[in-house]
Amino acid sequence: MRLKRASDTAYRTLSAAEIVKTAGRLADRVDERFPGSGLAGAARQLRATAEDTARRARALSRPYLGLRALLALFCLGGLGVLAVVLKDVDWRGIVEQTNEVALTALLESAVNLVVLMAAGLWFLLTLEERWKRSRTQTALHELRSFAHVVDMHQLTKDPTTLLGGGPSTPSSPDRRMTRFQLTRYLEYCAEMLALTGKLSALYAGESDDHVVVAAASDVENLCTDLGRKIWQKITILGDLQEE
């Protein structure tokens, strides 16, 4: 029964270790098929990015103990100040209604202290979330840029050139790949984009911040859209092969 529950849980969460393993295997495959190419360098960068992302995503789920200790000290300090204020109040005069000035001063001090404590608590309570959000958005921006880099690698890979055509110009890209090589190249690009989208999903899975979840979804949608263009080229290659 325990094995069944552990297996069910494994298929309900995205494993960072499996993504890192898949990215490493993909980097080896690209380097073996296209050694020394720019795509091989991008695949190695994806492997390093996957390792960094796994570490950063784990850090998001951990609390900032120093900041929470500061929050506890702030609460204790506020309670201490409140105790000092209440200690110096003329309670007998307030109860006997002979010292209205003390009552007014007490109310004014209490209101000011409560407002300051509430503002300080709100700042400290949201500071951890804002720090994590800033770091995550920076990491997601890097993933978004990397997706565009992968898209640039396949930009000039035109499957229709296999049919032949007009002569090349001096500025034409070097197109010496066979149909098989071009298909594998495009598939590697599609896999790299898919893994980039999964890396962004790791951040969304470790955060309850709606801003982080929305930003991660944007990166994943971008990778899906770019990958769709690549699969259109692969489909064209398949049609050419059938003809």
Per-residue pLDDT in tens (0 to 9) along the chain, 243 residues? 444 554 555 667 788 899 999 999 999 999 999 998 999 999 999 999 999 998 888 887 766 666 667 667 767 776 676 666 666 655 555 555 555 555 566 666 666 766 777 776 777 677 777 888 888 899 999 999 999 999 999 988 888 776 665 677 777 777 778 888 899 999 999 999 999 999 999 988 877 788 888 999 999 999 999 999 999 998 888 776 665
Look at residue 89 and give its three-state secondary structure.
coil
Residue 9 within any structural domain of the chain? no
Residue 218 within any structural domain of the chain? yes
Query: 């090589």: which residue's tokens?
Result: 181
Contact 205, 14 (CB under 8 A): yes
Q: How much is the pLDDT for 177? A: 81
Residue 166 within any structural domain of the chain? no
Nearest CA-CA partner of 24 in 5, 64, 51: 51
Nearest CA-CA partner of 230 in 203, 193, 195: 193
Residue 195 within any structural domain of the chain? yes
Query: 């700042």: which residue's tokens?
Result: 123
Q: How far is CA 74 from CA 6, 65, 69, 129, 145, in A?
A: 42, 14, 9, 18, 41
Sign of CA dihedral 39, 40, 45, 50: positive
Residue 165 within any structural domain of the chain? no
Residue 26 within any structural domain of the chain? yes
- Which residues constitute the domain of residue 234? 16-158+176-242
Q: How much is the pLDDT for 35? A: 92
Q: How much is the pLDDT for 243? A: 59
* Structural domain count, the chain: 1
Q: How much is the pLDDT for 101? A: 57
Contact 153, 39 (CB under 8 A): yes
Residue 54 within any structural domain of the chain? yes
Residue 130 within any structural domain of the chain? yes
Q: How much is the pLDDT for 3? A: 46
Burial-class residue 242 by CB neighbours within 10 Å (0-12, 13-18, 19+).
exposed
Q: How much is the pLDDT for 146? A: 95
User: Could you say which DSSP state residue 159 is in?
Assistant: G
Query: 């001090």: which residue's tokens?
Result: 109
Nearest CA-CA partner of 44 in 16, 61, 23: 23
Contact 154, 185 (CB under 8 A): yes
Q: How much is the pLDDT for 2? A: 47
